[in-house]
Amino acid sequence: MLVLLDRDGVINEDSPNYVRTPSEWRPLAGSLQAIARLSRAGRKIAVCSNQAAVGKGELTMADLDAVSRAMTIAVTEAGGRIDGVFYCTHSPDQRCACRKPAPGLLLQAMTTFGAAASETAFIGDSLRDAAAALAAGCTSILVRTGHGAQSEASVRKIGIELVFDDLAAAADWLLRQC
C-alpha cells in the first residue's frame, strides 16, 4: 500500500506565513512515530503538498529543499522513511493540474510507485486534500490536526467518513486494514 501524506498540519505544525526554514519545521506529536510504524510495516510513504510560497516568490526551491531534508532526517531518526516528496510550487492563480484540490500530485506519486488508486490512501487536513483524493480515486482520510477540525463538516459533506484525531490514529487504522 502507498500512503500519501499532506505535510503542513498533518506531519508538522502549520504556519500562516509558511514553514520557511528547517528550524521552523516542527513535527506534530506522534507524527514521526506514525510514519515509522507505517514504514516498518512495509508501506511506501510519500508527501504530497502544495507549497505556493515558491510560486509567489516568498520561498526559494533551496529553502523548500532544506525543509524537506529536515523532515526526512527527523523521520529517519524516528525509525521511518519517506520514499518520495511531491510538491506543487505554483501559486493558486496559475490554475495548474498539480495544485490540490486537483489530483495531479497524487497521480504523479501513484505513477512513480506503480500503485493503483485502490492501493493508495491520502491523509490530509483540509477539504482540498479530501477533494484531491476523491479526484485521484484513492482512499481519503482526514485528520483533525492543522485545519482538519475546522474542515471536518465540509469534508463529511462530500462523503468522507474516515476522520481521525491525528496521523498516529490514522496510521493505526491503516495498519489494522491490511
Name the nearest CA neighbour of 121 among 9, 10, 8. Answer: 10
Asked whether the beta carbons of 108 and 125 are under 8 A apart, the reply is no
Q: Return the pLDDT at 153.
A: 98
Chunked mean pLDDT (size 10), the chain, 178 residues: 98 94 97 98 98 94 97 98 97 93 98 98 98 98 98 97 98 92
Q: What pLDDT shows up at residue 99? A: 96
CA distance 140 to 48: 13
Model pLDDT, residue 178: 63
List the domains of the chain with CATH numbers.
2-177 (3.40.50.1000)
With b for 16 or more beta-carbon neighbours within 10 A and e for fewer, the 41-65 pattern comes to: eebbbbbbbbbbbbbeeebeeebbe
Say what the alpha-carbon torsion angle 34, 174, 103, 55 is, to the nearest 10 degrees: -10
Q: Spell out the residues 6+ positions from residue 39 whose beta carbon is closer than 8 angstroms to its own.
A: 45, 75, 79, 80, 81
pLDDT for position 129: 98
Q: List, by residue number, the catalytic residues.
A: 6, 8
What does pTM read for this prediction? 0.97
